C-alpha cells in the first residue's frame, strides 16, 4: 500500500485571508488573557507579601534581567517575523500565521518573566514596567492582515 505524499507548499489550513486573520487574532487574544490571569495571580500573591524567599538584591538583579530580555527580544521578534514573512508582498497565508504567532509568543515570554519577577519580589513596582511595555508592543501590533494576499 502506497501512501500519497502531499506537496507541503500547496497545503495550508487556511483557505481565505479572513480565516488566517481570525486564527491569529484568536491566538493573540489567548496570549493576552493568559497574561492577565497570571497578572491577577501575581498581584494577589505580591499584595500578600509575595514569596519573600529572595532577598531584594536578587529580585533587583532579576528585574534588570527582565529589562535586558525586553531590550533584546523585542527587536529579535520583529526580525524573526520579518524573516518568516519573507520579502513576498502580499504575504501568502501559510507564512502569515506562524510569523505572527512567533512574534507574539516571544513578547509574551518577556512579559511573563516580568510578571514572575513581580511575583517573587512581592512588589508591583518596578517589576510591572517590563510586562506593560511588552503587552503594549503586542497591542500596537494587533493582527490586521493588511499584508496578506487577498
* 53-82 pLDDT, tens digit each: 677 788 899 999 999 999 999 999 999 999
Burial letters 22-51, b for 16+ CB under 10 A, else e: ebbeebbeebbeebeebbeebeeebeeebe
Q: Would you say residue 21 lies in a domain?
A: yes
**Rounded Cα gap, residues 12 and 25, in angstroms:** 18
As for how many domains the chain has, the answer is 1
Q: Would you say residue 31 lies in a domain?
A: yes
The residue-averaged pLDDT of 13-23 equals: 82
Q: Is the dihedral of CA 22, 81, 132, 122 positive or negative?
A: positive
User: Does the pTM exceed 0.85?
Assistant: no
Task: Identify the domain containing residue 87 by its residue range.
Answer: 17-140
Amino acid at each position: 500500500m502506497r501512501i500519497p505524499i502531499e506537496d507541503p507548499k500547496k497545503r495550508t489550513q487556511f483557505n481565505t485571508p479572513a480565516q488566517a486573520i481570525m486564527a491569529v487574532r484568536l491566538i493573540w487574544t489567548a496570549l493576552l488573557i493568559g497574561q492577565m490571569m497570571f497578572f491577577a495571580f501575581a498581584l494577589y500573591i505580591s499584595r500578600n507579601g509575595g514569596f519573600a524567599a529572595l532577598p531584594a538584591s536578587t529580585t533587583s538583579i532579576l528585574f534588570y534581567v527582565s529589562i535586558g530580555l525586553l531590550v533584546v527580544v523585542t527587536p529579535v521578534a520583529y526580525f524573526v517575523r520579518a524573516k518568516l514573512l519573507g520579502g513576498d508582498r502580499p504575504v501568502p497565508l501559510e507564512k502569515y500565521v506562524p510569523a505572527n504567532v512567533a512574534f507574539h509568543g516571544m513578547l509574551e515570554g518577556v512579559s511573563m518573566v516580568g510578571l514572575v519577577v513581580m511575583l517573587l519580589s512581592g512588589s508591583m513596582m518596578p517589576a510591572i514596567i517590563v510586562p506593560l511595555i511588552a503587552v503594549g508592543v503586542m497591542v500596537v501590533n494587533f493582527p490586521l492582515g493588511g499584508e496578506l494576499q487577498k
